[in-house]
Every structure is written in C-alpha cells, then in structure tokens.
Amino acid sequence: MAAQEVFASQLDRDFLPGERSAMPSKVLEVENLGVILEGEQVLSDISFSIEAASITAIVGPNGSGKTTLLRALLGLLPCQGRISWTPGISMGYVPQRFAVPPSLPLTVTEFFLLKSGRLWRPDLAFIKHLPHELELMGLPLSVLDRPLGSLSSGQLQRLMVSWAMVTHPAVLIFDEPTAAVDVGFSDTIYQIMHRLIHERGTTILLVSHDLNVVWTHASQVLCINRSLVCQGPPQEVLTPEALRQLFGEVGWYHHPHGHHHLGEGSPGEER
C-alpha cells in the first residue's frame, strides 16, 4: 500500500472526534526580532504572525538567517524583540541535519521512547502507535529494532519526521523537511502536511530552498535576508522585483497553467 494511502486509512481510524482542540486564530506573533551572534547582527527587525492550521514557508539565500530564525523561535538562541507563542502550545521540530554516531548504543525504539515521558515504563498506547507513524513515512517495522546509527541518511530523515509527529504536536517546524529524502517521497511528505492541517489543525512552519514547493503548498511566505524583505501569500509577494531583491538576478518564473520553473543560478539551487 502506498504511504499516502496508509496515511489516509490509519489517520482516519486513529483520529478521534474532539482530538482537534480549538486553537486561537494566531499561534505565533513576532515583533522586532533581532539576533546577535558573536557580535554580529544576524537578524534584525523581523515582525510577523502565523495563523493556526496553515503552512508558513521561510525562504532566502544561503546565510540569510533562516535556520537562525527557527532556532530563535524555539528558544535556542538569545534574541531581542518579542516572540509570543500560544501558552502551553506543543511543538515538534525536524532539524536540517541530525548526525548520529554509528556506535551510539540506542535503538530506534529507544529513541522514540524518549518522547514517551516514561522511558522505562512507557504507556502501551504509545508503543502501539509507533508502527502507524513509521508506515506513514514508508519505514518498515523492522527498523524499530535497529541501532539508530545504522540508518541511512534518507531513513534517518524520514524517522525524524515520524519522531516529530508521534505526540501529535500543535505546531511542526521543519528545516528543509525533504533534505536527504529521495525525490519520489518528497511529495508524500507535503501531502502528509496538508492532511495533518485538515484532520488535526496542525500548524506548519518550514524552511525551503524550493520556490516551487513554496508556491504550491504555503499559505504564507516569509522572505528573509537578515531582515524581512517580503511576506504574504506567495502568489502575491514572490514577484520578480522581490526575488531580485532577495536573491539577485534569478531565472524563476510562473506559467499561468500552473508550472513553476527555476533557471540556472536560481534560488532553488544549493549555493
């Protein structure tokens, strides 16, 4: 069965009426955010808000402060200004890279149990739920018995997405969610995101270099180059003028029939 079919059938079965709690219209408000690292102003004058049950994408050139912004929002970096999350909101985070030493004496099951809150006496419902999350990401159940350090980079990235989703957080934060994942599975990850929004009211915040993905999936885009260059619906704010200001000369254009192209030297490439 395809991963998206598994997702549709299992989530419909596991999702209980009333699990989606009422959320305020805005889950995050940021005012005049600034970050200084080692005496250098990395981010300045960043203000925006995020609506519940939406996808917000952060775009910008390499070194523009996208990951720094995520880390500041997660409280991992000191910052100036105001960051206001809905009180008590739960969050899951998938970093761009997660290095695991091959010799780490930790199985995949034990890694998941770190999320259970009861490492040595986990709740039975939590254990029974693990296969569901793995199957969503196309991982076999046999992976649960494997050492975490034995997984390939693609398997580890899929596992990190499952790990972030396992407790059904209200907010999921991704730094390049499809990094190291094979191209064929990238679309499935974005389908899962939309299903989480529809079924659970999950709010998604992600960093992406792929403007095609942003145009297709995001309800709001934040254009970052150490400050906020533009923000709003991607179809409205990703204009040629805004892209030139953000990336320099680019070869990205949108066809009326719905195709989006990235030319040579465009922001969708790693640089």
The mean pLDDT of 4-15, rounded to a whole number, is: 40
Helix (H, G, I), strand (E, B) or coil at 61: coil
The mean pLDDT of 98-127, rounded to a whole number, is: 89
What is the pLDDT, as a whole number, of residue 1? Answer: 42
Helix (H, G, I), strand (E, B) or coil at 151: coil
Which residues, at least 6 apart from 9, have a Cβ–Cβ distance to it below 8 Å?
1
- Asked whether the predicted pLDDT for residue 150 surpasses 60, the reply is yes
The mean pLDDT of 214-229, rounded to a whole number, is: 96
Look up residue 49 and give its two tokens.
């808000």
The mean pLDDT of 37-47, rounded to a whole number, is: 97
Among 13-22, 93-102, 166-175, where is mean pLDDT lowest? 13-22
Instruction: State the first-to-last Cα distance of the chain, in angstroms, to the nearest integer.
Output: 37
Give yes or no for a contact between 116 and 163, defined as CB atoms under 8 angstroms apart.
Answer: no
pLDDT in tens, 236-271: 999 999 999 999 875 554 544 444 444 434 333 333
Give yes or no for a contact between 162 and 133, defined as CB atoms under 8 angstroms apart.
Answer: yes
Which residues, at least 6 apart from 256, have a Cβ–Cβ distance to it below 8 Å?
none
Query: What is the C-alpha to C-alpha distance for residues 69 and 64, in angstroms, rounded to an integer?
Result: 10
Percent of the chain with pLDDT over 70: 82
- Average pLDDT, rounded, for the chain: 85
pLDDT in tens, 81-95: 999 999 999 999 999
**Nearest Cα residue to 171 out of 201, 132, 139:** 201
CA 84 to chain centre: 19
The mean pLDDT of 214-235, rounded to a whole number, is: 96
DSSP state of 16: P
Give yes or no for a contact between 20 and 201, defined as CB atoms under 8 angstroms apart.
Answer: yes
Tell which wins on pLDDT, 186 or 235: 235
Look up residue 155 and give its two tokens.
């398997």
Give yes or no for a contact between 217 and 190, defined as CB atoms under 8 angstroms apart.
Answer: yes
Most confident of 6-15, 118-127, 146-155: 146-155
pLDDT in tens, 180-201: 777 777 888 999 999 999 999 9
- Asked whether the predicted pLDDT for residue 5 surpasses 80, the reply is no
Model-level pTM?
0.82
